[in-house]
Amino acid sequence: MRDTIRFLRAGKVVELTDIGPMDTVLDYLRLTERATGTKEGCGEGDCGACTVALGRVIGGRLTYQPVNACIQLLGMIDGAELVTVEDLAADGRLHPVQVAMRDLHGSQCGFCTPGFIMSLFTLYHAEGMEKSRKAVTEWLAGNLCRCTGYRPIIDAALASCFEAADDVFSWRAAETREALRRLADSRDVFIGSTDSFFAAPATVEGLAALYSQFPDATLVAGATDVGLWITKSLKTLPRIIWLGHVAGMDRVEVTGEGIILGAAATYAAAEPALRALSPDLGVLLGRIGSKQVRASGTIGGNIANGSPIGDMPPALIALGASIELQQGDNLRDLPLESFFIDYGKQDRQPGEFVAGIFVPRPGSDQHFRCYKVSKRFDQDISAVMAAFNLTVVEGAITAARIAFGGMAATPRRALGTEAALTGARIDDPATWGAAIRGLQDDFKPITDMRASAAYRMEVARSLLAKALMEIAGPAEPLRLLALQPQGGDHECAA
């Protein structure tokens, strides 16, 4: 067992023994190192002012990913290289992205500039990126500039980030890979006492044993949600168990039947496999958080926290996903929709944790669509999240799986609507009306700061109609549906 965390910093190994379970990377940088280039803005991973880069060996390649230092727990950088804006200049020369930002006037007030620089640094080291404004804006979706300096910032990215990397980090990449290899080990990490600790088990067996001993401990995968419990809710979390060190828990395995995801697999790691499963999933994943959030956040964590507005559960429920739960040596499989019992309550026993997720591959006669509706396109919480998986045989809908987020206290299937759709003709909109009307019997949404109940219901109906029209396709002539109020209900008319 190891009672330290170790990471690479400016080419040297840093070893820390005295860290608290809730210490963040941002506080370490600003308060301990006095490396104040990294700024604190929102404190919740939305603005990107605190962006730093973590270097890890992924698939044999040294990869730099942006993360939000304000919600990244210090213990979570164990075994990685930590890069901040102070590290980029070498031998008195600015880094190429810094030169471009200076020459093209990308820095306005300057507060957000270090975060932009660090995001551009990770883009500079990304491989296979298409040079386009779209690629740049997607990469920078997690960085905010309140001085409206986006045009010159994007110009700086286009000018500097799409040639082969030629900086001190690329020159010493082989040396860095070797240093990170030496840091990697299979020992459990435990820092603190039984009353307050940061722990990082190295095996699933070690995790199961530790969590059975301390079932009140907080399990952390990416901290994109738990980090806010600390910075915004001001919770005290004396015992934290990090899953990122558990061997195999970050696996992404593609099989003929579907995809197996370890509970600690990040969105970034799972995205290629899920995108290949369905183009709609690819679009959805591009709208969940930002590059920083997807580099740290995990699908397992999104499920385990049980938010009624989590984006992934409705899509996975519609696909028929199941999860594997483990308590000690005991394993059990559960359909994902059965995991969510009520608001803040899941079917999980003390000491039991989500170990993995299985996402079935849609059959040739299945048609999957999913849609996210939110006030902002990027990096926003859903007002309504909808997913539809329809089985169509010779023009008839023979089975349906429909799930919504934001419409109830948990992500939930629309069972009545599914039954009403079964037997309908995909090429005959006149047969869809009962299902569209029936959504009001499946859900009683609430009004809150994101949307009114009436708006949510109208959006849900519209999304169902949209999915049906898209699946019907252009082969058959269709007139647009008109959803017209009639006696308080909305009738579906061709």
Full DSSP string of 123-180:
HHT-SS---SHHHHHHHTTT---TT--HHHHHHHHHHHSSS---SHHHHTHHHHHHHH
- Which pLDDT belongs to residue 478? 42
Amino acid (one-letter) located at 489? D
Cα dihedral 483→487→489→491 (10° resolution): -40
Whether 123 contacts 158, CB under 8 Å: no
- Which pLDDT belongs to residue 487? 40
Q: Which of 354, 364, 294, 366 is nearest to 325 (CA)?
A: 354
- Which pLDDT belongs to residue 52? 98
- Which pLDDT belongs to residue 344? 84
Provide φ and ψ at 6, rounded to 5°: -135, 135
Query: Residue 38: how many CB atoms within 10 A of its CB?
Result: 23
The DSSP H or E segment spanning 325 is strand 322-327
pTM above 0.85?
A: yes
Whether 340 contacts 306, CB under 8 Å: yes
SS3 content of the chain, % helix, strand, coil (to 5): 35, 25, 40
In the DSSP assignment, the letter for residue 209 is H
Whether 326 contacts 349, CB under 8 Å: no
Whether 379 contacts 46, CB under 8 Å: yes
Q: Which of 50, 31, 3, 4 is nearest to 293 (CA)?
A: 50
What distance in Å separates the CA atoms of residue 422 and residue 336, rounded to the nearest whole number? Answer: 22
Q: Which of 480, 60, 25, 59 is nearest to 292 (CA)?
A: 25
What distance in Å separates the CA atoms of residue 301 and residue 317, rounded to the nearest whole number? Answer: 16
Per-residue pLDDT of the chain (494 residues; tens, 9 = 90+): 999 999 999 999 999 999 999 999 999 999 999 999 999 999 999 999 999 999 999 989 999 999 999 999 999 999 999 999 999 998 889 999 999 999 999 998 999 999 999 999 999 999 889 999 999 999 999 999 988 889 999 999 999 999 999 999 999 999 999 999 999 999 999 999 999 999 999 999 999 999 999 999 999 999 999 999 999 999 999 999 999 999 999 999 999 999 999 999 999 999 999 999 999 999 999 999 999 999 999 999 999 988 877 899 999 999 999 999 999 999 999 999 999 999 889 999 999 999 999 999 999 999 999 999 998 888 788 899 999 999 999 999 999 999 999 999 999 999 999 999 999 999 999 999 999 999 999 999 999 888 999 999 999 999 999 999 999 987 444 444 333 333 444 333 32
Sketch out the chain's domains with CATH numbers: 5-183 (3.10.20.30), 189-242 (3.30.43.10), 252-493 (3.30.390.50)
What distance in Å separates the CA atoms of residue 270 and residue 307, rounded to the nearest whole number? Answer: 20
Give 465's contacts (C-beta < 8 A, 6+ positions apart).
432, 436, 481, 483, 492
Q: Where are the strands (E) in 188-298, listed by range?
A: 189-192, 197-200, 218-220, 239-242, 252-254, 258-262
Task: Provide the token pair at 259.
Answer: 């995809």
